[in-house]
């Protein structure tokens, strides 16, 4: 029986790498699939991993209809055995409903990959709906690490190196290079403790060089 599976983890936990590997494994067994993504760091219609791997994909726009695309493809004689859906946190609830319908009505496997919460620690709409509907949910075992060495559980957004907790939910960026200067808008994964305190790697380094007390409030 076909399933809707949701693979989740923080940024930098290997979700896109796993999406590419899943596609490769199924294609190697003669199965034919389609790959989808949106707001990928590499640009439009590209599914990329931080390891440097890329694959052409279909860009999911706000008005994209998974059900219509799949039915139209099958009607024209195309074959689809599975769908790979990366950056699924950005999909709408209606689009996730379409994916579930594809699984149930067409018996096509759907593998969705995405993060659960945004930089404000609030659930993305697409991820929330996937939690509600998925046949199986998997937390990635490759653990991203906070600058302190603990397991990272939260995604932080920085602007000019300063952590922010307000703003638009979707601003495309990547995990910041912690060894280089901060970009205007970047992301960093933190443990809950340091996310709550707003203590990024850059701020921790700055604090260690001054007499400023750590924010234990």
The predicted pLDDT at position 61 comes to 96
Beta-sheet pairing, 46-48 with 54-56: antiparallel
What is the band of 158 on the pLDDT scale with cuts at 50, 70, 90? confident
Which of 82, 111, 139 finishes a domain? 139
Q: From CA 46, how far away is CA 58, in angstroms rounded? A: 7
SS3 214: coil
Higher pLDDT, 166 or 50: 166
Range of the domain at 79: 4-139
- Catalytic site positions: 87
SS3 209: coil
Q: From CA 104, how far away is CA 19, in angstroms rounded? A: 21
Query: Taking 70 as the threshold, does the pLDDT of residue 160 lie above it?
Result: yes
Query: Which are the contacts of 36, defined by CB distance < 8 A and separation ≥ 6?
Result: 57, 58, 59, 60, 66, 83, 84, 85, 86
The predicted pLDDT at position 85 comes to 96
Which H or E run contains 82?
A: strand 82-85
Q: Are residues 92 and 127 in the same domain?
A: yes
Q: Are residues 193 and 112 in the same domain?
A: no
Which ranges constitute the DSSP H helices of 78-162? 93-106, 125-133
Higher pLDDT, 81 or 52: 81
Residue 213 lies in a domain: no
Which of 116, 139, 162 finishes a domain? 139
Alpha-carbon 99 to chain mean position: 17
The predicted pLDDT at position 42 comes to 60
Q: Are residues 56 and 110 in the same domain?
A: yes
11: nearest Cα among 83, 86, 99, 85: 86
* Paired tokens of 198: 């707003």
Q: Are residues 74 and 169 in the same domain?
A: no
Mean residue pLDDT across the chain:
86
Of these ranges, 95-104, 132-141, 182-191, the one predicted with the greatest mean pLDDT is 95-104
The 10s digit of each residue's pLDDT in 60-92 is: 999 999 999 999 999 999 999 999 999 999 999
Q: Are residues 130 and 32 in the same domain?
A: yes
The predicted pLDDT at position 50 comes to 66
The 10s digit of each residue's pLDDT in 161-216 is: 788 887 776 665 554 444 544 457 888 889 999 999 889 888 888 877 654 555 55
The predicted pLDDT at position 162 comes to 84
Angle between helices 66-75 and 93-106 (to 10 degrees): 30
The 10s digit of each residue's pLDDT in 140-154 is: 876 778 999 998 888
Which DSSP category does 187 fall into?
E
Hunting for tokens 């599914």 — which residue is that? 47
- The domain total for the chain is 2
Is the whole-model pTM more than 0.85? Answer: no
Higher pLDDT, 34 or 168: 34
Q: Are residues 198 and 132 in the same domain?
A: no
Residue 95 lies in a domain: yes
């Amino acid at each position: 029986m076909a399933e809707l599976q949701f693979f989740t983890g923080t940024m930098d936990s290997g979700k896109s790498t796993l999406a590419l590997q899943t596609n490769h494994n199924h294609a190697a067994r003669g199965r034919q699939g389609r790959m989808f993504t949106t707001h990928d760091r590499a640009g439009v219609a590209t599914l990329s991993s931080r390891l440097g791997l890329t694959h052409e994909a279909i860009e999911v726009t706000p008005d994209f209809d998974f059900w219509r695309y799949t039915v139209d493809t099958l009607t024209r004689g195309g074959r689809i055995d599975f769908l790979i859906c990366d950056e699924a946190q950005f999909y709408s609830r209606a689009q996730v409903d379409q994916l579930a319908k594809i699984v149930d009505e067409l018996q096509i496997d759907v593998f969705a990959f995405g993060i659960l919460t945004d930089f404000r620690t609030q659930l993305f709409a697409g991820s929330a709906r996937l939690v509600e509907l998925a046949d199986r949910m998997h937390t990635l075992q490759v653990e991203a690490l906070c600058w302190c060495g603990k397991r990272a559980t939260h995604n932080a957004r920085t602007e000019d190196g300063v952590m922010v907790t307000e703003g638009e939910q979707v601003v495309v960026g990547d995990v910041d290079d912690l060894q280089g200067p901060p970009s205007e808008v970047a992301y960093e994964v933190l443990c809950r403790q340091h996310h709550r305190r707003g203590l990024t790697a850059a701020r921790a380094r700055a604090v260690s060089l001054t007499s400023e007390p750590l924010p234990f409030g």
